[in-house]
Amino acid sequence: MIKQSLTEAFDVKQKKISPSAIINDYEIFSDKKLLDELRIKIVQNLIEENIPDDKLLDDYINNEIDQTLVGYDLSNLERNHVFNLIQNEITGFGPITPLLKDDSITEIMVNAPNEVYVEIDGKVVKDETISFINDKHIMRTIQRIVQPLGRTIDAANPMVDARLRDGSRLNAIVPPLSLKGPVLTIRKFNKNLESIDDLLRKGTLTVNMARFLEAATQAKLNIIISGGTGTGKTTLLNVLSSFLGDDERIITIEDAAELKLNQKHVISLETRLTNYEGEGEVTIRDLVRNSLRMRPDRIIVGEVRGKEAFDMMQAMNTGHEGSITTLHANSPIDALNRLETMILMNEMEIPVSAIRGYIENAIDIIIQIDRLSDGKRKITSICEVVGMKNEEIEVREIFSFKQKGVMDDGSVIGEFGLYKRKPLVYDRIIHKGFDIKDIFE
């Protein structure tokens, strides 16, 4: 039985090492075989809960380390490192604790005990410094993470989606659904939200594109942000939301609260998962419908991916101008097709032509954001919905990014383009008092 925290077990005369400061076990531990022996022996007992009830945790760990170290000369630095590893098992999230503390890492993917991948600067790489002992070790780590959130995962409940307290999103899937063993994916919450200036510095868009998007947002055009997984849709949504005024009542709706608006009149709504009895779920669709009764000036939905698409289009068609949302799609046309499919999920007896007309009337601008092969994110297209042609929704590009090639170091070569014609939304933006005339001259 654990009678005191592991933190109290540390000798106050010895300087502790922060897990986030540990770059590589090999750099600290001269004998990797010894480290593995210690780790497997002690952590395996923790996994199997073999710690004697009559022993304090710190006494047990000190005793185990001392016995394993017979015949070895372990420095204070190495010994403290072992303590940190075990502390992560007891009070943290096991081997991935330092990854969660590293702000440069945006995603953590555990595929197997020796297969831990991370995303850094848009690129997925294998982390050779982090590993688990076995599948049971991964399973215990997942359970440690989800249990405080009121969730459970086992053979009877082999899949879980959850949000950590810092806003990071977790997905875990275990046998029998996962044939490989327990798999854990964590998309970390971005504490340092980016601004339009940050996107400009990174080359995500041009100054004229930024000016146009700012004017379009403030002029209350209805905007869809389209892109694949990890392309930066939520980041861009947050940037566009920063253009909204303090005099507007803004309702935000998300699965996991990631938007951080600084305006004075913001109501943030978040979905709720089912409880242990399988009841109490509140969906994006429930919240969109409820938001219409809350007198919103703006409705911002983190992502549409189901039946709520119909309610979102209905809101855009019934006077709720300036609504913004994101969805997963590979192009603006694909985004429109996905919206059509999501509306058809409602199983209403409405002709497809009518649904397309409904979408065409609702949406003004589609922004496509992509992650290129070099990991950099670019707004590859800003287009407007211009009407119907042969019963198909027609779009017209305003800005674009065209890839020209790839350099030897993998960097993508390309250029942004502007179509020197006034878009249909031009007059609406000008009439709202926003000067973008020089962009299209």
- Structural contact between residues 274 and 281, judged by C-beta atoms closer than 8 angstroms: yes
Cβ neighbors of 327 (< 8 A, separation 6 or more) are 224, 225, 226, 303, 304, 305, 309, 335, 338, 339
CA distance 425 to 230: 29
- Phi, psi angles (nearest 5°) of residue 67: -65, -40
What are the angstrom distances between the C-alpha of 95 and each of 58, 141, 150, 170, 253?
19, 9, 22, 16, 34
Residue 327 has pLDDT above 90, yes or no: yes
Q: How many CA atoms lie within 13 A of 367 on its CB side?
A: 30
Query: pLDDT tens-digit profile of 128-149?
Result: 888 888 898 899 899 888 888 7
Amino acid found at 69: L
pLDDT at 53: 67
- Structural contact between residues 159 and 172, judged by C-beta atoms closer than 8 angstroms: yes
Cβ neighbors of 299 (< 8 A, separation 6 or more) are 251, 253, 288, 291, 292, 312, 315, 320, 323
Query: Look-up: residue for tokens 């397309």?
Result: 356
CA distance 217 to 236: 12
CA distance 212 to 359: 22
Average pLDDT over residues 183-204: 87
CA distance 127 to 131: 8
3-state secondary structure of 284: helix
pLDDT at 101: 87
Please give the mean pLDDT across all residues of the chain.
Answer: 83
Task: Identify the structural domains of the chain with CATH numbers, from first to last.
Answer: 1-91 (no CATH), 99-191 (3.30.450.90), 196-440 (3.40.50.300)
Residue 381 has pLDDT above 80, yes or no: yes
CA distance 136 to 44: 9
Average pLDDT over residues 20-24: 38
pLDDT at 54: 65
CA distance 5 to 410: 48
Average pLDDT over residues 400-414: 92
Any idea what DSSP says for residue 405?
E
Would you state the torsion angle of the CA atoms of residues 288, 384, 342, 268, taken in this order, to the nearest 10 degrees?
Answer: -20
Would you state the torsion angle of the CA atoms of residues 106, 99, 253, 323, taken in this order, to the nearest 10 degrees?
Answer: -10
Residue 74 has pLDDT above 80, yes or no: no
For helices 32-47 and 57-68, angle between their N-to-C axes, nearest 10 degrees? 150
- Phi, psi angles (nearest 5°) of residue 365: -130, 140
pLDDT at 220: 94
- Phi, psi angles (nearest 5°) of residue 229: -65, 130
Residue 87 has pLDDT above 90, yes or no: no
pLDDT at 51: 64
317 alpha carbon, distance to own chain's centre: 29
CA distance 59 to 69: 15
Cβ neighbors of 356 (< 8 A, separation 6 or more) are 340, 388, 391, 392, 393
CA distance 138 to 414: 42
Is the preceding peptide bond at 351 cis, omega within 30 degrees of 0? no
Q: Say which range, 216-220, 225-229, 270-274, 378-382, has the weakest mean pLDDT.
A: 270-274
Higher-pLDDT residue of 167, 90: 167
Average pLDDT over residues 25-54: 63
pLDDT at 13: 28
